[in-house]
């Protein structure tokens, strides 16, 4: 009777040694591919999502505190500074810093062009550690507490549209606080920045907060809002809730994820795709090992029968094939990790894979090595594979020594 087992025996008959070596090579190659893809998915996926998050957090902070408005506009209603409230917010666990800001929409005018802009006013307490690494030319505005600075930091895309360079003068027109008449201010370009976040680069410029206070005719203790940075992002929602309990009822507290949901929903989708890719590659690796081990067992039926006749137990025979499976898996893990990590290192140094920055916010695929995650996928692969490999070894207990020895 031509059962699947009988057909498989016929296929391997007479070609056992060469066929076994072939199966082992195929199994190792498939494992190498699966592990390499999983390592690259983790490194590139983490690099992409974390770099985007850092850019958004760096530009806007982690939590924004603003006054509630019936009709939200670009220009926010003022919040009066309250030293007791600020100290209370700073006392919340995991709060790192708090700094004021004011946003005001305007139009930049040069001799030949005009461009809409959102001027973000900041004071001397603003942390430049994030934005400094994205300043391509010039420097950040020199803002002090003593006098109003007329320096302005604009993006490279805005500078290209208006044909501006560092040191050039420009005029920005704003509407007064009643939105009735335009007010012009002559400023100087102190530097150019480029984050790759086109939604921000195309519209935002940074300048002195006192300039906007003067335009709005606000006193020095009134601001458009406050940016809060936290130490541990895992506690972001808890920190926001704690701050919300401390502020008056007319003050709104929201995380940047709530303020910019589209970007973070997109990042969640990327993370979901990364998980699906890992699961798919893990399934491929497991089924590859099951198939390889099953064929090796069938290929060694005669040997199994002889060993059983000599007194070998089912457990001992299983250990022999599990050892061979570990050999295949070990080589796959070693070479796969080397290829995956090596390619990611080359990508990090040389930027082999390019991207359209207008769509993906990066000129090349970013890479971030998360060694704990890499170790995790290796351990999960080993554990799940070993558990599932118990299934094909069950065939050993079904093999009759007499029939196996007679089998040739």
pLDDT tens column, 87-117: 999 999 999 999 999 999 999 988 788 899 9
Token look-up 């007010």 returns 183
Q: How far apart are CA 315 and CA 394, in angstroms?
A: 10
Picking from 249, 272, 289, the residue at the C-terminal end of a domain is 249
Regarding whether 277 and 241 lie in a shared domain, the answer is: no
Residue 354 lies in a domain: yes
Residue 258 lies in a domain: no
Regarding whether 115 and 83 lie in a shared domain, the answer is: yes
Regarding whether 219 and 158 lie in a shared domain, the answer is: yes
String of DSSP letters for 159-202 = HHHHT--TT-EEEEEEE-TTSSSEEEEEEEEEEEE--S-HHHHT
Average confidence (pLDDT) over 242-253: 90
Relative to beta strand 63-67, strand 225-230 is antiparallel
User: How does the average pLDDT of the chain come out, rounded?
Assistant: 84
Q: How far apart are CA 38 and CA 333, in angstroms?
A: 11
User: Three-state DSSP class for 143?
Assistant: coil
Regarding whether 203 and 73 lie in a shared domain, the answer is: yes
Residue 224 lies in a domain: yes
Q: Pull the structure tokens for residue 91.
A: 């006392």
User: Three-state DSSP class for 153?
Assistant: strand
Regarding whether 102 and 77 lie in a shared domain, the answer is: yes
Regarding whether 304 and 275 lie in a shared domain, the answer is: yes
Picking from 249, 279, 298, the residue at the C-terminal end of a domain is 249
Relative to beta strand 169-175, strand 182-193 is antiparallel
Regarding whether 296 and 218 lie in a shared domain, the answer is: no
Residue 38 lies in a domain: yes
Q: Could you give phi then psi for residue 146, rounded to 5 degrees?
A: -85, -40
Residue 387 lies in a domain: yes
> What percentage of the chain has pLDDT greater than the value 70?
88
Regarding whether 20 and 147 lie in a shared domain, the answer is: no
How many domains, the chain?
2
CB 81 within 8 A of CB 223: yes
- pLDDT of 7 over the 60 cut: no
Average confidence (pLDDT) over 180-187: 84
Residue 229 lies in a domain: yes
- pLDDT of 72 over the 60 cut: no
The 10s digit of each residue's pLDDT in 283-324 is 888 888 888 777 777 777 777 777 777 777 777 777 777 777
Q: What is the DSSP letter of 399?
A: -
Bridge partner list, 184: 173
Within 10 Å of residue 398's Cβ, how many Cβ atoms?
8
Regarding whether 318 and 203 lie in a shared domain, the answer is: no
Residue 60 lies in a domain: no
Instruction: Give me the domain span that covers residue 105.
Output: 69-249
């Amino acid at each position: 009777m031509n059962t699947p087992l009988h057909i498989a025996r016929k296929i391997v008959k007479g070609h056992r040694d060469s066929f076994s070596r072939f199966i082992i090579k195929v199994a190792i190659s498939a494992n190498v591919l699966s592990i390499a893809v999983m390592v690259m998915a983790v490194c590139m996926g983490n690099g992409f999502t974390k770099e985007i998050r850092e850019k958004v957090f760096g530009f806007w902070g982690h939590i924004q505190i603003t006054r509630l408005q019936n009709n939200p506009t670009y220009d926010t209603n003022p919040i009066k500074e309250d030293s007791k409230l600020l100290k209370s917010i700073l006392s919340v666990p995991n709060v790192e810093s708090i700094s004021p800001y004011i946003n005001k929409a305007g139009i930049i005018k040069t001799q030949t062009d005009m461009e809409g802009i959102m001027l973000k006013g900041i004071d001397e307490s603003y942390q430049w550690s994030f934005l400094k690494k994205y300043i391509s030319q010039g420097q950040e505005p020199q803002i002090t507490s003593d006098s109003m600075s007329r320096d302005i930091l604009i993006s490279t895309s805005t500078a290209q549209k208006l044909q501006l360079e560092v040191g050039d003068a420009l005029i920005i027109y704003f509407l007064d606080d009643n939105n009735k008449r335009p007010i012009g201010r002559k400023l100087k370009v102190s530097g150019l920045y480029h984050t790759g976040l086109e939604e921000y680069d195309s519209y935002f410029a940074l300048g002195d907060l006192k300039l906007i206070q003067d335009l709005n005719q606000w006193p020095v203790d009134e601001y458009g809002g406050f940016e809060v940075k936290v130490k541990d992002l895992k506690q972001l929602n808890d920190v926001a809730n704690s701050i919300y309990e401390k502020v008056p009822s007319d003050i709104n507290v929201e995380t940047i994820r709530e303020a910019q949901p589209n970007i973070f929903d997109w990042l969640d989708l990327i993370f979901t795709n990364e998980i699906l890719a890992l699961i798919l590659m893990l399934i491929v690796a497991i089924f590859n090992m099951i198939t390889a081990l099953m064929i090796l067992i069938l290929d060694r039926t005669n040997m199994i029968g002889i060993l059983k006749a000599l007194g070998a137990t089912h457990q001992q025979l299983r250990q022999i094939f599990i050892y061979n499976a570990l050999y295949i898996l070990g080589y796959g893990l070693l070479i796969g990790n080397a290829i995956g990590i090596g390619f990611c290192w080359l990508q990090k140094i040389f930027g082999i894979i390019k991207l359209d920055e207008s769509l993906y916010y990066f000129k090349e695929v970013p890479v971030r090595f998360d060694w704990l995650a890499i170790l995790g996928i290796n351990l999960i692969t080993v554990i799940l594979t070993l558990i599932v490999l118990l299934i094909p070894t069950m065939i050993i207990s079904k093999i009759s020594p007499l029939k196996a020895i007679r089998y040739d």
